[in-house]
Amino acid sequence: MIVKLEAFTPNPKELIRKAVSITTMTEWTSDWSKFFKMLIKRGAESPLEHVSFTFFISDVSRALTHQLVRHRIASYTQESQRYVKYDKGFRYVIPPSIEKDDELNNVFRKHMVDCANIYHFLVVHGVPPEDARFVLPNACHTSIYVTMNLRELRHFFKVRLSQFAQWEIRELARQMYEIVKKIIPEALYDINVPSG
């Protein structure tokens, strides 16, 4: 899994402070920790929407991105399986529960090769990639750009860092969380990576 921060709003704390300053909600405090606690505890989170983060995410499964794009308050651009031809095969994610067992691993890998061969067979017989892709599995690698504002990121982290979330998107959320936390830790004071 590759997770790279491509861009983010410059001086994010200062921008949020400016947005808050036009309300009559509070006196300015120079303590960022107190400031973000005050906003978040009151549920006054709209100023966080002015700050956004853009990530490039790659070498993840289509199973992951199918879950990711359910988050509606975000912008996405994903590698197209209509325009990319997988005529030299495709790369894929092997879940750890399969990879740890030789027999399961072999069956899984063989199925990936079969999918790639059928895809190739269809394409050389004139089937367009947009139709041949119907045989590609959820495990197939993909790349996606995602832009989320800080308010949505907080929501995304809460639901996708959870122990109830699926392992691959949980790992993505963890990596994104660590990146955002380095830039604006005060805005994530109430969100942690659950252990286990």
Ligand X SMILES: Cc1cc2nc3c(=O)[nH]c(=O)nc-3n(C[C@H](O)[C@H](O)[C@H](O)COP(=O)(O)OP(=O)(O)OC[C@H]3O[C@@H](n4cnc5c(N)ncnc54)[C@H](O)[C@@H]3O)c2cc1C
- Interacting residues toward ligand X by CB under 6 A: 70-73, 152, 155, 159-160, 164-165
Report how far apart, in Å, the C-alpha atoms of 111 and of each of 35, 114, 120 are: 53, 5, 14
By C-beta, is 70 or 88 nearer to ligand X? 70
Alpha carbon distance 23, 8 (integer Å): 24
By C-beta, is 116 or 152 nearer to ligand X? 152
Alpha carbon distance 57, 53 (integer Å): 13
- Is 160 noted as a catalytic residue in this protein? yes
Shortest distance, position 32 Cβ to ligand X, whole Å: 25
Counts for the chain of helices (H) and strands (E), in that order: 8, 4
By C-beta, is 18 or 66 nearer to ligand X? 66
Shortest distance, position 151 Cβ to ligand X, whole Å: 9
Catalytic residue among 62, 91, 160, 170: 160
Alpha carbon distance 61, 87 (integer Å): 18
By C-beta, is 141 or 155 nearer to ligand X? 155
Shortest distance, position 176 Cβ to ligand X, whole Å: 14
Shortest distance, position 6 Cβ to ligand X, whole Å: 20
DSSP string, 150-180: HHHHHHHHHHHSSTTS-HHHHHHHHHHHHHH
Residue numbers annotated as active site: 160
